[in-house]
Amino acid sequence: MEWQKHNIQDFDFLGMENPFLLKDMEEAMKKIIKAVNKREKIVIYGTCDLDGIASVAILLLVLKYLNADVEYFISDKINDSSIKSDIIENHIKFLGAKLIITAGCGIKSLPEIELCKRLGIDVIITDYHKCGKFLPETIIINPNQPGCRYPFKDLIAVGVVFKLCQAVSIYYNMKYVSKYLDLVTLGIFSKKSYITGENEIMVREGMRYLNYTNNYGVKALLKVNKIHTINQENICELSNKIISSISCKRYIDNARIAVELFTTESIDRAEQIAKYLKNEMIY
């Protein structure tokens, strides 16, 4: 892609790696550009943990900014890393989807990817799970897949999705894609793992963006949970509260409500959802 050479020179990666080092990123971009420019239906398929919710929300915000025809679906099973054939046949197909982008799942869904191909639906898998067998001729963005030369292998779902959004922003000359690092940070903290490498960079920058976030959902969460000082301890606690809010018998409903929280354009609706989720916390 000729546009890369010029646009990448002017892009601020904030110390992170070039997203085009990820295997299949160029092919993924071709599919996304086609779908956006032709207004083809895009469906984002994610998981219902906070990492998945943040991933879906970021992709939704970026694609809606580009005026894409986009919807999403969230799996109703906790820690579900696969996509389901019945969802494809009974839901996504009837949406008229031309492209499915997964967010942190699908790497092991070989029969389901074949089904999508038979139905004429393109698939881009963004995932981070390790898997020994990969379907040929499938676009996969995963630093842990064979043949991927991306140097940092510990990205989680929200990190891989952010790298995809970085690539999208380079093509469409979006100057402020880094503002979504506030949601990336919540997703990273939700994994409760030691933060190193590029994850550490994303968290450091995300903490900075949290101080003046323009995301109504994040603002509402900070307000409702009385967080006046932005530091890692407070944001880790906030991440845990969100996890607690969605971890109840209405898990899938609350996960979808959380996506709405992070993507709403209404401050009143954001505060309404934030108060609702606070009341859903499990102690």
pLDDT (tens digit per residue) in 216-234: 999 999 999 999 999 999 9
pLDDT grade for 130, boundaries at 50, 70 and 90 = confident
111 or 8: which carries more pLDDT confidence? 111
Which has the higher per-residue pLDDT, 134 or 278? Answer: 278
Question: What number of helices (H) and strands (E) belong to the chain?
Answer: 12, 5
pLDDT at residue 283, rounded to an integer: 44
CATH number of the domain enclosing 267: 3.90.1640.30
- Kindly tell me if the per-residue pLDDT of 5 is higher than 60: no
123 pairs with which residues across the strands? 100
Q: Which of 5-14, 85-94, 213-222 has the highest mean pLDDT?
A: 213-222
Cα 17 to the center of its chain, rounded Å: 18
Band (182; pLDDT cuts 50, 70, 90) = very high
pLDDT digits (tens, 9 = 90+) for 55-88: 999 999 999 999 999 999 988 766 667 788 888 9
Task: Give the pLDDT band of residue 39 (cuts 50, 70, 90).
Answer: very high
**Secondary structure of residue 172 in the 3-state scheme:** helix
pLDDT in tens, 195-211: 999 999 999 999 999 99
Q: Does the global pTM surpass 0.85?
A: yes
What is the pLDDT, as a whole number, of residue 131? 76
Tokens at residue 60, please?
């939704």
Using CA atoms in the order 226, 227, 233, 237, what is the torsion angle rounded to 10 degrees?
A: 50
Rounded CA gap, 53 and 187, in Å? 8
Helix, strand, coil share (%) of the chain residues, nearest 5:
55, 10, 35
Distance CA 150, CA 144 (A): 9
**Burial class, 249, CB count within 10 angstroms (exposed 0-12 / middle 13-18 / buried 19+):** exposed
Q: What's the number of domains the chain is made of?
A: 1
Residue range of the domain that includes 68: 2-279
What are the DSSP calls for 202-257, one per residue?
HHHHHHHHHTT---HHHHHHHHHTT--S--HHHHHHHHHHHHHHH-STTHHHHHHH
